[in-house]
Amino acid sequence: MKENKIDYEKILKNLQETEFDNMSIKYWCNLSCNSITSLDTRIEVINEKILVKGEMFEIEGEARFCSKCNIQISDIVLDDLRLENAYNQYRKKHRLLMPEEITEIYKKYNLTAKGLAEILNFGDNTIYRYEKGALQDKVHDAFLKQISKPNNMLDHINNCKINISKKAEQKLRDKIEKLMIEDLKKMVDELVREMKKEEKYEMTQIGTPIYNKAEYSYIFNQQSIVAA
Ligand SMILES: [Zn+2]
């Protein structure tokens, strides 16, 4: 009986050996074909169930097949895209940040992925891995959402021991201050806009002419003259 075990070592070795031959990438069919070019393969849309942290997600995505034996073969790009699709469904369901939102957070503070990881006491590559699509830890996600607000970031650097140079810290504090002022300005603008809206409303209320009977008959007569 043939053993149906995935040989990760072999797959990894194959991936490492993937050659670029006049833009015709070579693939490996683990049945009999061994090395084949993209001409011997085809791409099909498949429905797949992918398990993410114990939850099943049904996704639709492209996969590569060997045209000779018709079995699905590994394609590092397509396989990743399907996994990403499942991860994004998991993120949506659990209201987790999307990878690009994580990037936005560190850019907002003029930091790098590594810089933000240092400030939050995460592992050096943690933010980098998240923005490249690795599924984030739920506690990390909540923390990231919190510090995306400048006042919370300020609280964090005021109350926690962070491992960055004095100069870097000052730069961050200046940026936080700027962001807080911007947020405040936005709030004031919004408030002024709301107030103006109400003022306008009041003005139309006051501005609505209230005529007495004599005035009405006068207007009515004027209109009749115009109409005649
Ligand atoms: Zn094959």
What would the pLDDT profile of 139-152 be if each residue is shown by its tens digit?
999 999 999 999 99
Cα(28) to ligand 1 centroid in Å equals 8
**% of the chain with per-residue pLDDT over 90:** 65
Cα(32) to ligand 1 centroid in Å equals 6
Phi and psi angles of residue 25, each rounded to the nearest 5 degrees, phi first: -70, 140
Q: How many CB atoms lie within 10 A of CB 139?
A: 8
Whether the pLDDT of residue 107 is over 80: the answer is: yes
Q: For 1-26, what is the mean pLDDT?
A: 59
What would the pLDDT profile of 28-75 be if each residue is shown by its tens digit?
998 888 888 888 999 999 999 999 999 999 999 999 999 999 999 999
Q: Which two tokens stand for residue 132?
A: 């490249």
pLDDT at 197: 85
Cα(60) to ligand 1 centroid in Å equals 23
Burial of 86 per CB tally in 10 Å (0-12, 13-18, 19+) = buried
User: Taking every pair of C-alpha atoms in the chain, what is the biggest distance, in angstroms?
Assistant: 105
Q: What is the mean pLDDT of the chain?
A: 85
Cα(72) to ligand 1 centroid in Å equals 9
pLDDT, greater one: 22 or 18? 18
Model's pTM, two decimal places? 0.68
Q: For 86-109, what is the mean pLDDT?
A: 97
What would the pLDDT profile of 150-162 be if each residue is shown by its tens digit?
999 999 999 998 8
Lowest mean pLDDT among 18-27, 70-79, 84-93: 18-27
pLDDT, greater one: 150 or 200? 150
Cα(63) to ligand 1 centroid in Å equals 14
Sheet holding 72-73, edge to edge: 41-52, 55-66, 72-73
Cα(35) to ligand 1 centroid in Å equals 9
Q: What is the DSSP string of 100-118?
A: HHHHHHHHHTT--HHHHHH
Cα(68) to ligand 1 centroid in Å equals 5
DSSP state for residue 133 in the 8-state scheme: T
Q: Which two tokens stand for residue 17?
A: 């050996």
pLDDT at 21: 47
Q: What CATH code is assigned to 104-182?
A: 1.10.260
Whether the pLDDT of residue 17 is over 90: the answer is: no
Is the CB of residue 72 less than 8 Å from the CB of residue 64?
yes
In which band, very low, low, confident or very high, does the pLDDT at 2 lie, cut at 50, 70 and 90?
Answer: very low
Q: For 111-124, what is the mean pLDDT?
A: 94
Burial of 164 per CB tally in 10 Å (0-12, 13-18, 19+) = middle
Whether the pLDDT of residue 14 is over 60: the answer is: yes
Cα(10) to ligand 1 centroid in Å equals 16
Cα(56) to ligand 1 centroid in Å equals 29
Domain ranges in the chain are: 8-93, 104-182
Cα(76) to ligand 1 centroid in Å equals 17
Q: For 180-184, what is the mean pLDDT?
A: 94
